[in-house]
């Protein structure tokens, strides 16, 4: 299983978790902690009843953005292994749009890397969410993508609780 993927297929968080755990277990101190994040499609958003979502990606750039996030995470938390899969196409309520898994010797790094990754995905990965709700549809407003914005990166790090 690749660590980074943009795919129309149903996502598997446990498969990705097993993959990062296996890689981390062969590294320095071994694998003592695996964290995962899954983002699911909610039935309600901003007071509207959501019917389904459609995600679109600029795949080659998205994979490079994943690689940048991995490099940033490795710089901040050496030794952690990170995997991220983002789904595209039509998603029903309750389905996962993204799964992230991080493995490390110790839990602080595994939590920080996983949280950092989702924050950065929302900042710089070229994926767009189109919401189909009762009575209409709309592209969801997001973040202006700037991969070299140091402030955004620091904000993601702060949310990852880098100091703990």
Partner 1 sequence: MRVRIKLFAQLRDRAATGDVACELPAVDAATVADVWDALIVMHPALTPFQSSVSSAVNAEYAKRQTRVHDGDEVAFLPPVSGG
- Binding residues vs its own copies (CB under 8 A): 13-14, 17, 21, 25, 29-44, 94, 105, 107-108, 110-111, 114-115, 118, 158-161, 164
Radius of gyration of the chain (CA): 16
Minimum CB separation of residue 38 from partner 1 in Å reads: 11
Distance CA 20, CA 100 (A): 10
Minimum CB separation of residue 100 from its own copies in Å reads: 9
Site for partner 1 in 30-49 (CB under 8 A): 39
Site for partner 1 in 98-137 (CB under 8 A): 98, 118, 121-130
Of 13-21, 73-81, 140-148, 154-162, the segment contacting partner 1 by CB under 8 A is 140-148
Angle at 44 between CA 57 and CA 120, to 5 degrees: 40
* 129 touches, from partner 1, its own copies, none (C-beta below 5 to 8 Å by class): partner 1
CB 4 within 8 A of CB 57: no
Cβ proximity to its own copies: between 9 and 161 the closer is 161
Q: How many CB atoms lie within 10 A of CB 157?
A: 19
Cβ proximity to partner 1: between 51 and 130 the closer is 130
- Bridge partners, 92 (sequence order): 52
CB 29 within 8 A of CB 105: yes
């Amino acid at each position: 299983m690749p660590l980074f993927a943009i795919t129309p297929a149903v996502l598997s968080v446990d498969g990705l978790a097993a993959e990062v755990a296996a890689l981390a277990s062969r590294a320095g101190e071994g694998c003592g902690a695996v964290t995962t994040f899954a983002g699911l499609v909610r039935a309600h958003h901003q007071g509207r009843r959501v019917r389904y979502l459609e995600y679109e990606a600029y795949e080659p750039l998205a994979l490079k953005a994943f690689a940048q996030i991995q490099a940033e995470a490795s710089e901040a938390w050496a030794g952690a292994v990170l995997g991220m899969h983002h789904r595209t196409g039509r998603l029903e309520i309750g389905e996962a749009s993204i799964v992230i898994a991080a493995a490390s010797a110790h839990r602080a790094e595994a939590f920080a890397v996983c949280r950092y990754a989702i924050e950065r995905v929302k900042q710089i990965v070229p994926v767009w969410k189109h919401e189909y709700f009762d009575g209409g549809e709309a592209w969801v407003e997001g973040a202006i993508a700037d991969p070299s914005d140091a402030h955004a990166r620091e904000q993601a790090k702060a949310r990852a609780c880098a100091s703990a």
